[in-house]
Amino acid sequence: MKHAVSMSRVPTETAYEEWMKSEGVPVYADWGIEDVKEVERKPWARMGGKGAFIHLNGMKEYGICGMYVMEIPPGQSLNPEKHLYEELIYILKGQGATEIWQEGQPKRSFEWAAGSFFAPPLNSWHRLYNGSREPVIFLAMTTAPIVIDIFHNVDFVFGDSYAFTDRYAGEETYFKVGKLVEQNLRNHKHQVWDTNFIPDLTVDLGRYGLKQSQSPSKAEGGMSFGFEMSENVLTGHVGDWPTGIYHRAHYHGPGAVLLGLKSKGYVLLWHKELGIHPYQNGHGDEVIKLHWREGSVYSPGDGWFHQHFNTGSEPARHIALRTGGAKYRVGVHRYVGVVENIKEGGTMVDYKDEDPQIRRDFDADLRENGVASQMPPVGKTAA
């Protein structure tokens, strides 16, 4: 990669996009990918495994967050690395361990398996090991785009020696389960998990003492909790909702990425300029339908309505990844209004106001899957 941009040309790509190409692995760009475990991965010399970049449309619009999927062959490890961008890692398949250290400090390690979620501290050395006989596959979200675009010098991004001891100072307990913090969010109590490691996001979260907060304003019977990890601006929440239920349509700024953890269904996407009745207004062919399941990722664009449908036989769970949590904001907080009715200045469409074709199509999909609808009557208003 060239470390400085010549003024004799006008670049058509960002420094991050040029860097992705220079790494020699596939780059997948779309609204979503049904299963990131199935994308083609190629040898990645810098990382020491096989990988691919995920560069979804909503992420490109935001320009702050990036994503990649990585495979560690059986019995092998990745190369040690450190970098000046933040990172969240979710284990999609397999089991292994991670070593974390800073210069002059002892190495700390912790084990993980499918469903584990953790965040290596900023600019700390880390190395992932696969000690099993099966491949490990994980998905990582990072702030590499904005960091590489600002510095446009990868030697600095990967080679700076500064230790952020305010984030990590070699604590032996750093990768324990963490603690629950109760916050006031839009006038109701909300559970936030302040942690650096979650052993398994696919199980009953009550085993960790977690009590999810009710979030019926987005989906009937919906539950959620937020998380803060490793003092990052990368943050998000985990959402559950029952089978036979779908979320109310809403929109916000770009950059959020959703990863399916349990059940299956689909998501609808359409730009707000098409209105809240895209089918009635003759724009049904412009509504994007993406199927999701465990391992699916998708990212709505700026001002794109989206709603999540559970047509599976079990409660659904997804994790939403974004920047700007309760601890650290990033610029303008672009996710406000998502639980407030669009008729009252918010960005959410209540069931009673949505395009009737949405409910008809959902009911048809449920019948096809042999799943009973749990949706409230059409006239019910948001809680």
Q: ∠ CA 315-248-277 to the nearest 5 degrees?
A: 135
Is pLDDT of 180 > 80? Answer: no
The model's pTM is 0.92
285 has pLDDT over 90:
yes
Q: Is the domain of 152 the same as that of 186?
A: no
**117, 231: one domain:** no
Is the domain of 200 the same as that of 125?
Answer: no
Do 361 and 225 reside in the same domain of the chain?
Answer: yes
CATH at residue 195: 2.60.120.10
Q: Do residues 245 and 275 both lie within one domain?
A: yes
Pair (31, 60) in one structural domain: yes
Q: How confident is the model at residue 5 (pLDDT cuts 50, 70, 90)?
A: very low
Which pLDDT value is given to residue 347?
A: 92
Structural domain contains residue 236: yes
The answer to whether residues 154 and 189 belong to one domain is: no
Is 117 in the same domain as 149?
yes
For residue 336, is pLDDT > 90?
A: no
Same structural domain, 284 and 198: yes
pLDDT at residue 41 is higher than 50 = yes
Residue 117 lies in a domain: yes
Does residue 377 lie in a domain region?
no
Distance CA 236, CA 248 (A): 19
- Please give the pLDDT value at position 379: 62
Tokens of 105: 């400090």
Min mean pLDDT across 74-83, 108-117, 206-215, 326-335 is at 326-335
pLDDT (average), residues 319-335: 76
The answer as to whether 168 is a domain residue is no
Residues 243 and 340 in one domain: yes
Contact by Cβ (8 Å): 212, 223: yes
Q: Say yes or no to pLDDT of 377 above 90.
A: no
Confirm whether 5 is domain-assigned.
Answer: no
pLDDT digits (tens, 9 = 90+) for 338-362: 778 899 889 999 999 999 999 999 9
Contact indicator for 261, 322 with CB cutoff of 8 Å:
no
Q: Which residues of 60-79 are buried (b: 16+ CB within 10 A; e: fewer)?
A: bbbebbbbbbbbbeeebbbe
Question: Amino acid identity of 44?
Answer: W
Stretch 160-177: mean pLDDT: 90
Band (pLDDT 50/70/90 cuts) for residue 310 is very high
Higher-pLDDT residue of 39 and 194 is: 39
Average pLDDT over residues 296-307: 95
Question: How far apart are alpha carbons 121 and 110 in whole angstroms?
Answer: 14
- DSSP secondary structure string, 30-53? SSEES-GGGS--EEETTTTEEEEE
Does 29 have pLDDT greater than 80?
A: yes
Give pLDDT, residue 179: 76
Digit-coded pLDDT (tens) for 250-265: 999 888 999 999 999 9
Confidence at residue 270, expressed as pLDDT on a 0 to 100 scale: 98
- Residue 213 sits in the same domain as residue 352: yes
376 in a domain, yes or no?
no
* Per-residue pLDDT tens over the stretch 136-165: 999 999 999 999 999 999 999 999 999 999
Question: Of 224 and 164, which is predicted with more confidence?
Answer: 164
> Mean of the per-residue pLDDT values for the chain?
90
One-letter amino acid identity for 308?
H
Whether residue 382 lies inside any domain: the answer is: no
Task: Verify that 207 and 144 share a domain, yes or no.
Answer: no
Q: Looking at the 3D structure of the chain, how many domains does it have? A: 2
pLDDT of 337 reads: 65
Domain that holds residue 84: 15-159
Give the β-pairing of 49-54 and 27-28: parallel
Residue 353 is assigned to a structural domain of this protein: yes
Q: What is the sign, positive or negative, of the torsion defined by CA atoms of 351, 57, 135, 319?
A: negative
